[in-house]
Amino acid sequence: MNNAGFSTIVTSITQDKFVPKVIDQVLDGNVLTMRLMGQSRTQSFGETFVIPVNMSAYTNLGSYAGFDTFGTAQQNTRQKANFYPSQMYCGVTLSGIQLAINQGDPAVLDLLATELDQRAKDFKDEFGNQVYGDGTGNNNKDILGLTAAVDDATSITTYGALSRDTYTNWKATRTAQSGSLSLADLAADFDAASVAGEVPTIAVTTPAIFSIYEALLTPTVSHQFSMNDFRMTGSGMAKVGGTLAANQGFRALTFRGIPVVADPKCTSGNLFTLNENHLNFYNLPQPSGRAVKSGFGWTGMKMPVNQDAEVGQFLWYGQLVCDSPRTQARRTGITS
């Protein structure tokens, strides 16, 4: 990497201190990114993420009597879902005149710190938007987000190169809200996403719908949560106090033992009831010298051949993959 415009001190501090801080801000930007990136997986081969998924029931089993014959034909109950990786970047640019005005390591470090802090906010914002998207943005280059994963073929017929019309197990539960939101609606979504002993692990919605849900709780329960102020952090539910400050994490209530969390990035009017055991970020490793953490890389600052500037890019290659949409539920059109 060409770092001709910076001293070794500036380059080292940027690499060791500033760059990881930017990525941490992106990872903690919204509740789902924080939760799912914490268990992201790296695949170091292939043009696609190939995920074996179970699509039909195995029938060579069951009761028998006496000399009944057994079913011995080999049965393939699995299909291969294929997900192409998306690529994300966020550029950092300093002009030559900015560097001329801010000469000396302390001034350059201040300039870089300010620029990187703003880019962290921008990258966090864009990453959060795409986590809830359907992958069609920017000519189908965006992340294949929740809107694509948690669908019943109403909007997204093909997911992971498999047709939801062909494989009904590949459909999530999608319900258009009728009337005011009720606890019975949350129960219906929870039950719909409960499959073979597995239950949802989190419900995510908008701040407005979160307030509607809070109002549905009994005054005693609502008061209890208001007094204790539970928060969702990377390690789970925690009560404000001790080492956890009131501005940390994401405010959370519960329903049937799972957190219900408000996320400003959640699609308007939507409530997602999710099983995170079947939602994973898959990453491709960064080329040598770029890797930082969780699939993110940093190119370092370098001088373009046709500009009086120093530029660098944060990069990420990967995809959000759901290997069992039927364990997910989504309620749309919630207004009151």
Question: Mean pLDDT for the chain?
Answer: 87
pTM for the model: 0.85
Once rounded to an integer, what is the mean pLDDT over residues 290-303?
Answer: 91
Read off the amino acid at residue 103: Q
Tens digits of residue pLDDT in 222-239: 544 454 455 555 555 554
Which of 5, 35, 1 has the alpha carbon at shortest distance from 275?
35
Neighbours of 147 (CB within 10 A): 20
Q: Which residue has the tokens 């051949």?
A: 305
Residue 319 main-chain phi, psi, to 5 deg: -155, 150
d(CA 23, CA 272): 26
Residue 259 main-chain phi, psi, to 5 deg: -70, 140
Q: Which residues contact 273 (CB under 8 A, 6 or more apart)?
A: 186, 189, 190, 192, 193, 200, 203, 328, 329, 330, 331
Tens digits of residue pLDDT in 159-174: 999 999 999 889 999 9
Tens digits of residue pLDDT in 11-59: 898 888 899 999 988 888 788 888 888 888 888 767 889 988 887 777 8
Stretch (H or E) spanning 313 = strand 309-322
